[in-house]
Amino acid sequence: MAVSAKRRIGVMGGTFDPIHHGHLVAASEVAQSFDLDEVIFVPTGQPWQKSNVTESEHRYLMTVIATASNPRFTVSRVDVDREGFTYTVDTLRELKAALPDADLFFISGADAVEQILSWKDVDRLWELAHFIAVSRPGHELSLSGLSGEHVSLLEVPALAISSTDCRSRVARGFPVWYLVPDGVVQYIAKHKLYTDGSDGSDE
Ligand code: ATP
């Protein structure tokens, strides 16, 4: 009797404030290189490292719009629907409970992976998912003290785009066309997001 292979599912966590093409290219490249069946984008609720983030429903809907054209991309509400701060260990625990037979691959940029040892319950993280760190302009891609057993590195096409810069551009009246998907440009304009002059950064 043929044994069906385990599903391989990527998990792309992020604030997505707003989602941009850097996120989408990273997820697409990892899906290709690691033979993933699906990538689940998981917008955070209130991230524990950031303040002043845009209402989660807006970030969730922009993520739905941005991923709609790719049949391998889906969006989860697990973090936006959870009270309190978002910790990756809670995200992965919940997804693993819902998908007990899948192998999970958590996708993270080189900047985020530098911080991973400070994340909550790091030992549990390694049990729940394999981590894939992708290159990001301005950040060195290296294991920096992490074990290759738990973390893989992947070079992806370099897009020097950040959500901080997108917010700042909108606030200054600069376009974000081609930095974020067209539908996200339209959503930002319709809901007048990022026009208050704050770039949402913690500084
Ligand atoms: P902000 O500027 O608000 O901090 P961000 O652009 O870093 O936001 P996040 O939503 O915080 O976006 O990022 C989610 C994940 O995507 C993180 O792991 C981050 O490292 C990764 N990422 C973000 N932008 C890029 C990019 N241009 N190339 C590769 N990875 C990226």
Q: What pLDDT is stored for residue 200 in this prediction?
A: 44
pLDDT, one tens digit per residue, over 161-173 is 999 999 999 999 9
**pLDDT of 1 over the 70 cut:** no
Tokens of 185: 């440009």
With both helix axes pointing from N to C terminus, report the angle between 182-190 and 56-67 in degrees, rounded to the nearest 10. 150
- Beta partners for residue 40, in sequence order: 11, 74
53-57, 105-109, 112-116: least confident range: 112-116
Give me the chain's average pLDDT, please: 93
In short, whether 109's Cβ falls inside 6 Å of ligand 1 is yes
Cα–Cα distance between 114 and 143 in angstroms, integer? 8
In short, whether 164's Cβ falls inside 6 Å of ligand 1 is yes
Q: Whose CA is nearest to atom 26 of ligand 1?
A: 22
pLDDT tier for residue 3 given thresholds of 50, 70 and 90: low
How far, in Å, from the CA of 75 to the mean position of ligand 1? 16
Q: What pLDDT is stored for residue 194 in this prediction?
A: 97
**pLDDT of 5 over the 90 cut:** no
**Residue with more model confidence, 195 or 144:** 195
In short, whether 21's Cβ falls inside 6 Å of ligand 1 is no
Report the percent of the chain where pLDDT is more than 90. 81
Cα–Cα distance between 194 and 176 in angstroms, integer? 12
Q: What ipTM describes this predicted complex?
A: 0.98
pLDDT tier for residue 197 given thresholds of 50, 70 and 90: low
Could you identify the atom of ligand 1 that is nearest to the CA of residue 161? 27
Tokens of 189: 């304009």
